[in-house]
Amino acid sequence: MSDMRRALVTGAAGFLGSHLCEPLLAANWEVVGMDNFITGDKRNLEELEKNKNFQFVRHDVTQFIHLAGPLDAVFHFASPASPIDYREIPIQTMKVGSLGTHNCLGLAMAKRARFLLASTSECYGDPLVHPQPEDYYGNVNPVGPRGCYDEAKRFAEALTMSYHRHHGLETRIVRIFNTYGPRMRLDDGRVLPAFIGQAMRGEPLSVFGDGQQTRSFCYADDLIDGIYRLFESDEVFPTNIGNPREMTILEFAEKVQEAVGSTVPLNFHPMPENDPKVRQPDIGKAKRILNWEPKVPLEEGIQRCLGYFQGRVEEQQGKSQED
């Protein structure tokens, strides 16, 4: 009988889901990846599928999940996560946060597996408290254009805690702040791939509002390290994982221009409704209970991404020429 632990990772073809699978496999886990490719990319699975301990199952987690064999962990990462995606598919976004979370929790309970929910800093909405600690309940507009994502994740957290309290299920909840790295889609609407793609194409950078809104960017490797530490800990309540280094969007635009070697101008657009004006994690809890904090400076992280995004830009330009 194998001593290897076995995990299910939903959303495994996505940006963060695929990054999570790699250290699990490196730590001698058997990994079952699950995705329905609504927003995931099959190319994110190419390296994973070369590993004999990785298995892929194409499935929509909003439908009942049947998985043969034992499970030690369920990592629920399935969900659209960019503004463009969840505004185009708001109902699917709410379904994966509600029905999908319910199905994953039910599977974890049936297998007696530990469950980890990938939640989000969007639970804090457009925050009135800064930086955002885990005990801040947020300022969310449930009927605004971002409500489908924000409330899906808030419901998922409540459902996860209900399974923990009522059924005694071992659960963990990570609130993920802005994260970047290879495997992000150029067209997913998030600021880093948007800026890098525009700069590489020689286009003006699209800045919404006056650019004074702030964000905090965490490199994917740092984030996954924090998530794994949280999974292995005893902490049940939500925990922020992100980089507390805060900067304005204008400052971030300068960082991208410097990295790409581009002097493209800025193109200002109206601020989207309910777009957060500030975003910075309070990571005191993660430092205290997980001995975790991010290590990769933004400047280094952007450099690590450039080759990947250059390849995607060239691919995009090649398709445009064919059309």
Active-site residues, by number, are 149
Residue 314 DSSP one-character state: H
Determine phi and psi for 30, rounding to 5 degrees: -85, 135
Give the C-alpha separation, 59 to 36, whole Å: 5
Spatial CA neighbour of 74 closest among 6, 26, 126: 6
Give the C-alpha separation, 176 to 149, whole Å: 13
Structural tokens at position 141: 């507009």
- In one-letter notation, the amino acid at residue 7 is A
Give the C-alpha separation, 197 to 189, whole Å: 11
CA angle (149 as vertex; 297, 147 as ends), nearest 5: 120
Give the C-alpha separation, 181 to 243, whole Å: 13
Spatial CA neighbour of 193 closest among 203, 180, 202, 204: 180
Euclidean distance between the first and the last CA atom of the chain, given in angstroms as a whole number: 54
Determine phi and psi for 267, rounding to 5 degrees: -120, 115
- For 263, other C-beta atoms within 10 Å of its C-beta total 9
Residue 273 DSSP one-character state: T
- In one-letter notation, the amino acid at residue 255 is K
